[in-house]
């Protein structure tokens, strides 16, 4: 079985600055994989490279055995990879319902159709209603997304990410800025919604990471210094030194 994501010898330079050097990462099908590392280690850049937000200077990235490095973000999305953003990135003036519906439209095959009434597409309506139910925002469906509370916007962000039915879901710090109760709620939500899919997550909250992940990769200065099960990572002296030892994390 091919791996969900395979990153081989990827390098990213901005001018003369190496942000990522020789990045190698393998994520198996159905795995819940967390990427951790200190601030500025290149976690978000890694996300941006895989999702096509930025293109690698060199190296290769495969999604389910297909080459995706060099493709544009929407081409990668259509091949079954969907990501969320660290800073909430929704359609602020559109309602919650419309936000989710937009994320459903491509996957249900309606593409750029200008000859269909969007309100009378039963499968779109049903799927949108299901996703809203899943993210507990049904009661807020007619509210413009920009007026939601922060935690609700984060949930909507996850909803938009999973709505297209991608096989690989990448979440960039989904619980950042949340209270403990909100975090617990969000973790339960993520666990339930990514059932049967591959999950890649960047997270600072170690209780979330160790509670959710099957495997963990540790990124330091654009390099994966260790990759393994939560137990292996906990016991790894290099990781302790580079990352877990720092009190502020």
Partner 1 sequence: MTDLTSRAPSPTDSAPARNVGFYAAWGIFIVAVLVLPLIFRSGGSHTTFSLIGIAAIFALSYNILLGQTGLLSFGHAVYYGLGGFLAVHGMNAIAAHGLPVPLPFVPLIGGFAGLVFAIIIGWVSTQRAGTVFAMISLGIGELVASSSLILRSFFGGEAGITTNRTDLPALFGWNFGPQIQVYYLIGFWLIISAIAMYALTRTPLGRMCNAVRDNPERVQFIGYDPHVVRYLSFCFAGFFAGIAGALAAINFEIANAAYLGAVQSGVVLFATFIGGVGYFFGPVLGAVVVTMLQLELSDVTSVWQLYFGIIFIGIVMFAPGGLTSLLMMHRPLLRAGTLPMVLPAYLIALVPTLLFACGVILAIEILAVYSQGGSGSGTIHLFRIPFDLASPMTWLIAAVLTIGGFYVARMTWRGVTDAWDRAMTVARERGYHA
Site string (114-133) toward partner 1, x via CB under 8 A? xxxxxxxx---xx--x--xx
List 8, 21, 78, 204, residue binding partner 1 (CB under 8 A): 78
For residue 157, what are its two tokens? 């962000």
Q: What is the DSSP letter of 146?
A: G
List 54, 71, 107, 151, residue binding partner 1 (CB under 8 A): 107
List 1, 139, 247, 248, residue binding partner 1 (CB under 8 A): 139
List 45, 46, 69, 77, residue binding partner 1 (CB under 8 A): 77
Site string (171-200) toward partner 1, x via CB under 8 A? ------------------------------
For residue 129, what are its two tokens? 């209603």
List 21, 106, 151, 234, residue binding partner 1 (CB under 8 A): 106
List 163, 171, 178, 201, residue binding partner 1 (CB under 8 A): 163
The reply on whether position 136 binds partner 1 by CB under 8 A is no
Cα 55 to Cα 71: distance, rounded to the nearest angstrom = 8
Indicate the residue among 161 and 236 with the shorter CB distance to partner 1.
Answer: 161
User: In whole angstroms, how close is the CB of 71 to partner 1 at the nearest point?
Assistant: 11
Cα 13 to Cα 19: distance, rounded to the nearest angstrom = 6
Phi, psi angles (nearest 5°) of residue 25: -155, 130
List 13, 65, 70, 147, residue binding partner 1 (CB under 8 A): 147
User: In whole angstroms, how close is the CB of 77 to partner 1 at the nearest point?
Assistant: 5
User: In whole angstroms, how close is the CB of 52 to partner 1 at the nearest point?
Assistant: 8
Cα 31 to Cα 39: distance, rounded to the nearest angstrom = 24
Q: Which residue has the tokens 């978000």?
A: 44
List 24, 26, 89, 167, residue binding partner 1 (CB under 8 A): 89
Q: State whether residue 114 is helix, strand or coil.
A: coil
Scan residues 36-55 and list those touching partner 1 (CB under 8 A): 51
Cα 223 to Cα 234: distance, rounded to the nearest angstrom = 18
DSSP H or E stretch at residue 118 = none
User: In whole angstroms, how close is the CB of 57 to partner 1 at the nearest point?
Assistant: 21
Q: At what angle do helices 122-134 and 96-105 cross, to 10 degrees?
A: 120
Would you tell me which residues interact with partner 1 (CB under 8 A)?
51, 72-74, 77-78, 82-83, 85, 89-94, 98, 101-103, 105-107, 110-121, 125-126, 129, 132-133, 138-144, 147, 160-161, 163-164
């Amino acid at each position: 079985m091919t791996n969900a994501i395979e990153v081989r010898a990827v390098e990213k330079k901005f001018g003369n600055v190496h942000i990522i050097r020789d990045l190698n990462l393998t994520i198996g099908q159905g795995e819940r994989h967390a990427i951790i590392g200190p601030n500025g280690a290149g976690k978000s850049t890694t996300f941006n490279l895989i999702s096509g937000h930025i293109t690698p200077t060199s190296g290769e990235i495969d999604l389910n055995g297909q080459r995706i490095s060099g493709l544009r973000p929407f081409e990668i999305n259509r091949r079954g990879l969907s990501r969320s953003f660290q800073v909430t990135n929704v359609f602020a003036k559109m309602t919650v319902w419309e936000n989710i519906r937009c994320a459903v439209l491509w996957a249900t095959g309606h593409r750029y159709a200008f000859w269909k009434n969007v309100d009378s597409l039963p499968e779109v309506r049903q799927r949108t209603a299901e996703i809203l139910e899943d993210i507990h925002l049904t009661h807020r469906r007619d509210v413009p997304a920009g007026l939601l509370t922060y935690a609700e916007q984060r949930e909507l962000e996850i909803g938009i990410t999973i709505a297209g039915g991608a096989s690989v879901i990448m979440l960039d710090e989904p619980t950042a800025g949340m209270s403990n109760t909100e975090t617990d709620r969000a973790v339960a939500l993520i666990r339930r919604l990514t059932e049967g899919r591959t999950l890649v997550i960047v997270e600072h909250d170690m209780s979330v990471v160790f509670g959710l992940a099957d495997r963990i990769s540790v990124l330091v200065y654009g390099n994966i210094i260790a990759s393994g099960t939560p137990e292996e990572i906990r016991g790894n002296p290099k990781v302790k030194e580079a990352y877990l030892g720092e009190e502020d994390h």
